[in-house]
Amino acid sequence: MLSALNEYISIKSIAGDKDENNKAIMFLGNILREIGFSVSVEGESKYEQPTIIAKYDSTSSSKKVVLYGHYDVEIIHKKEKWLSSDPFVLEEKNDRLYGRGIADNKGIFLARIFAIKEMIEKNEAVPSILWLIQGEEEVGGLTPFKVFPKHTQEFGAKLYVEETGYHNNGEQLLFFLPEEPKVNFLENLNEAVFESKAKIEYRTLNKFFIAGKCPFMESIPSNSYYLGFGPNDELSNIHQENESLNKVLLMKHIKQFQKFLTWTTVVDI
């Protein structure tokens, strides 16, 4: 995985750079198709960052899950001072992996891809997956607002999963924003995935978009469930110099995400 992550980090997928954004689209498209996803690129983006829609049709489960992610990264600001030689080269120091976009959202994205890949190769049950992948998160573009809704409506899933989540003082946070809270649902999820050690917080992952709206959140039907969990922590420095992920937490997330997908195939919602 680290080899693929190094390649992904090296792609400077920032607003307006058509060639680099096309590289990111091709990179993700190829790796997703290899494990059985159908992939389409949709929407006209003035930032040269169209939306990617990836779908996996499961033959092992009737359940469905919608995932969210993005391939764009924040620019490197002149004031930033990185410990590494190049923000677009993956570097490991003191059990942390450094690189622009690794915590938002490239590292987590690849971890989840490799989690799914391993499950499919082992013939383990996985749900059908709709992956909404945008390229305009860092600029708050409008393209995903035009693309996402029709796909979520057609797909008809109940579970919607954020791009990542956080640890606070070593404690896994589990974001949950239901229409009507189901205590048993949360307890079941916490036990199955986090050994009942996650701290549940009723909030969303913070985002700032045009008019204060997020295209992912806006696409979630009112009778569905929003979840957020991931390996980010207090040192991740999203949008700042020395953006990083704890290597142990990143690798742990692969197993957690596999447990989550297994859980989705048996939970009753």
**Three-state DSSP class for 125?**
coil
Task: Decide if 191 is inside a domain.
Answer: yes
Length of the chain: 269
Establish if 86 belongs to a structural domain.
yes
The CATH number linked to 95 is 3.40.630.10
C-alpha span between 130 and 57 (Å, rounded): 9
Alpha helix positions (H), 10-65:
18-34
140 within some domain: yes
Say if CB 92 and CB 8 are below 8 A apart: no
Q: Residue 180: what pLDDT?
A: 64
What is the C-alpha separation between 71 and 21, in angstroms, rounded?
Answer: 8
Query: What would the mean pLDDT of 128-144 be, rounded to a whole number?
Result: 96
Q: Identify whether 25 is part of a domain.
A: yes
Mean pLDDT of 4-16: 97
Give the pLDDT score at 205: 87
Q: What is the mean pLDDT of residues 149-168?
A: 95
Q: Are 127 and 261 in contact (CB under 8 A)?
A: yes
- Domains in the chain, number: 1
What is the residue range of 93's domain? 2-264
In a domain, 127, yes or no: yes
The token duo for 207 is 């985002």
Residue 131's DSSP bridge partners are 54, 67
Residue 64 lies in a domain: yes
Checking if the pLDDT of 148 tops 90, the result is yes
pLDDT tops 60 at residue 258: yes
- Tell me if 136 is assigned to some domain: yes
Cα dist from 195 to 53, 173, 199, 203, whole Å:
32, 13, 11, 21
Contact 241, 174 (CB under 8 A): no
- The predicted-structure confidence for 195-240, as pLDDT tens digits, reads as follows 999 999 988 887 666 556 899 999 998 889 999 999 999 999 999 9
Closest CA to 108 of 235, 3, 227, 257: 257
The rounded mean pLDDT for the chain is: 94
Helix (H) or strand (E) holding 241: none
Helix, strand, coil percent values for the chain (each to nearest 5)? 35, 20, 45
Task: State the CB neighbour count (10 A cutoff) for residue 218.
Answer: 13
Q: Is residue 269 part of a domain?
A: no
Give residue-wise pLDDT tens across range 171-188: 999 999 876 666 688 889
Residue 31 reports pLDDT greater than 70:
yes
Q: Which residues fall within 8 angstroms of residue 19, CB to CB, at 6 or more apart? A: none
Q: Which residues contact 214 (CB under 8 A, 6 or more apart)?
A: 204, 207
- Kindly state the average pLDDT of the residues 127-155: 96
pLDDT digits (tens, 9 = 90+) for 77-119: 988 999 888 999 999 999 999 999 999 999 999 999 999 999 9
